[in-house]
Amino acid sequence: MALREWLLGLSLVCCGLFMGRSAQAAGPPLIERRILPLLIGGATLYAALELVLLVAGIVQEQVLDYWQVFAGYSNPRFFNHAQTVLIPLLVGMLGLSTLQGLWRRLAWFALIANAFFLLTLMGRATGLALVIGTLVASGLFGAQGHVFLRRLVLAFVGGALLYALIIRALPPALGMEELPAFRDLGERTSIESRLYLWGIALQDIAAHPWLGIGPMHYAHHFNGEAAHPHNIYLQLAAEYGLPFFALLAALVARWLWRSTRRLRELMQQQPDPLALGCYVAIIGALVDGAFSGNFVMPLPQMWIVLTVALFQARVQPAPSEPVTRPSAAHSRIVLATWGLLLLGQLWLIAVSLPEFLQSAPRITGAPEVPATATRLNPRFWLDGWF
């Protein structure tokens, strides 16, 4: 399990570096002509699908099943994690002068629809992440940050109108009772659960401060709530140890500081709304990570990798002069690194495929869930206890 987690982490980092270098080499024009239409198109199609499913459920079934309506997500909160990144990206795209006509209208549609979905699901961590990220942008980037803020507010006004129309006005018009909320805004269950999970992580840190309990081994001990503490910072410190966490935190802080300075210089010379949108998304993901599992869920992981890659390409454009050719030794090291990662991925597929193909999937070598587990929660344990 630990080897799988290390392989996943290294692969995500290398994927981000490769995508960033590729986008950097392609340059802003190619990004805006090829990559952004794909993102806008995907976001638009998903938003349209969800609006149809949501309205059809209310009209035909006279019910809104929050846990079933969001296709592709076993938990609507996983969708919120992706929205933490997607919404700022869409706001940033709308600031590009090159985005015109149909693509611009589609981007507005996707943005307003996602604001509506977020209001419907009452994603508090995502909402907080968007607020903090936007306020940071407004404070650091002046007029451009204020434009970003106004565009975001306008999107949520549109989302609120959709909410009033679909969630509040439509059911009474059909003779239905008021639709129940996904969760009560003031409910304390999730807050208390997080405090409980954070307490377990702090106990693990105290017991194993140097090397941690092992990657993904927070899930090894039954707690009845979750396979991770819903806080990426506590999870890293508990599973990898305080020295590793301190080193990683220092590297991320240094990169963020240098990127912020570079973006401020860029915004003074030639404002780049997409780079600003990426920056807000990254800040938002870091905030969201303090309250959720956005860094451990597959779809949000890829959204974060994509956003970091786009950001790097925007703030560090390709050099105008030819780059010095790397040495043969450097090339061999890079090639060996990619080769090892590829072999690792093939190994992961080889050992996971038999588990997946079983009629009742079980993790190889995993015993039955212990008798102390009163229910199969989290779902991570459904495939066996490692």
Same structural domain, 362 and 287: no
Q: Which of the listed ranges 18-22, 24-28, 74-78, 116-120 does the model predict with the highest average pLDDT?
A: 116-120
Same structural domain, 281 and 380: no
- The pLDDT tens digits for 66-91 are 888 999 888 899 999 999 999 999 99
Same structural domain, 27 and 129: yes
105 and 62 in contact (C-beta within 8 Å)? no
Please give the structure tokens belonging to residue 239.
Answer: 């599973």
Give, in degrees to the nearest 5, the angle at Cα 77 between 73 and 81: 95
Angle between helices 101-121 and 124-163 (to 10 degrees): 110
On whether residue 246 sits in a domain, the answer given is: no
Per-residue model confidence (pLDDT) at position 379: 57
- The pLDDT tens digits for 339-358 are 988 898 898 888 878 767 77
Same structural domain, 304 and 346: no
On whether residue 58 sits in a domain, the answer given is: yes
Same structural domain, 72 and 166: yes
Residue 51 and residue 135: Cα distance in Å, rounded? 30
On whether residue 325 sits in a domain, the answer given is: no
- The pLDDT tens digits for 122-139 are 999 999 999 999 999 999
